[in-house]
A and B are shown apart, each in its own frame.
Chain A
Amino acid sequence: AQTVTQSQPEMSVQEAETVTLSCTYDTSESDYYLFWYKQPPSRQMILVIRQEAYKQQNATENRFSVNFQKAAKSFSLKISDSQLGDAAMYFCAYRWMNRDDKIIFGKGTRLHILP
C-alpha cells in the first residue's frame, strides 16, 4: 500500500530565509503525481506545487521548488525568501496516475515564520 511520510511535525524559519520541508513516500507504481498543499490557519487547502513522476525536471512555482528524487522516493519542498504569509500546515500527497484512486496525504508539517 502506498504511504506518505512527513517526518517534521513542526518547523520554524526566519522571515526572508530558506526552509526545506521533507517528504518520503512508498509505492510500487511508476506513474504517479506528487503534490504539496498549503493550509493556512482557518483557511482553505490550496495546491502549492505538483510533480509528475515521469518528469525528471524538478517543478518550480515562484519561491517554491521541489527536490524530486524518484529512486529514493523523496519529494522535499523548498521555500525561498520566506514570508509571513507562508505560515501554514503543509501536506505532501501522492496520487496514482492511471486509475481513479484516492489521494494519500502525509500527516503534515506546521511551518512558523519568525519576524
Chain B
Amino acid sequence: DVKVTQSSRYLVKRTGEKVFLECVQDMDHENMFWYRQDPGLGLRLIYFSYDVKMKEKGDIPEGYSVSREKKERFSLILESASTNQTSMYLCASSLGAGMNTEAFFGQGTRLTVV
C-alpha cells in the first residue's frame, strides 16, 4: 500500500514563528502536492512538485514556500506564521503524467496559529 506520512497530526505555533510541515511518501511517486482545507472552501492547492527541486505555485502560494530535495520528501514552510494560516494541511502524492493513477493523501496536519 502507498503510504503518505505527515510529520504531525496537530500543531500549535505562535504568530511570527517559522513553521515546517513535512511529508514523506514511500512509493517513488514523481508528483507531490500541498493542499489547504478550510470549511466551505474545499481543497486549495498551495504548491506542487513534479520532480526533485522542481516546484510550481498553486492557487494560494502567498505566505508559503516549499522544498523538495529528495524524491520522497516534500516540505511546506510558513516563513512567518499568521493567524489566517490556521487550517488543515493535506499532503498528497501521485505518479507522473500519463499514468492512470489517483493522488494518495496523508492524514493531514491541523495547524493552529495563536
List residues of A whose CB falls within 8 A of some B CB.
6, 9, 33, 35, 37, 43-47, 50, 52, 91, 93, 95, 97-108
Q: Which residues of A contact B97 (CB under 8 A)?
A: 97-101
Q: Which residues of A contact B103 (CB under 8 A)?
A: 93, 95, 103
For the A-B complex, the count of residue pairs with Cβ-Cβ distances under 8 Å equals 56
State the CA gap A104–B58 with chains docked (Å): 10
Find the B residue at minimum CB distance from A1.
Answer: B59
Partner of B96, one of A91, A100, A107: A100
Q: B113 interface residue, CB < 8 Å from A?
A: no
State the CA gap A45–B88 with chains docked (Å): 12
Partner of A102, one of B40, B45, B98: B45
- Sample 30 A-B pairs with CB under 8 A, ordered by A number: A6-B42, A33-B100, A37-B102, A43-B107, A44-B107, A44-B108, A45-B90, A45-B105, A46-B105, A52-B100, A91-B42, A95-B103, A97-B97, A97-B98, A99-B97, A100-B50, A100-B97, A101-B97, A102-B45, A102-B48, A102-B56, A103-B33, A103-B45, A103-B92, A103-B94, A103-B103, A105-B42, A107-B40, A107-B42, A108-B43
Indicate whether A100 sits within 8 Å of B100 (C-beta atoms), given known contacts A44-B106, A45-B105: no
- A9 in contact with B40 (CB, 8 Å): yes
Find the A residue at minimum CB distance from B97.
Answer: A100
Q: B22 interface residue, CB < 8 Å from A?
A: no
Contact with A along B31-53 (1 / 0, CB 8 A): 10101000011110100101100
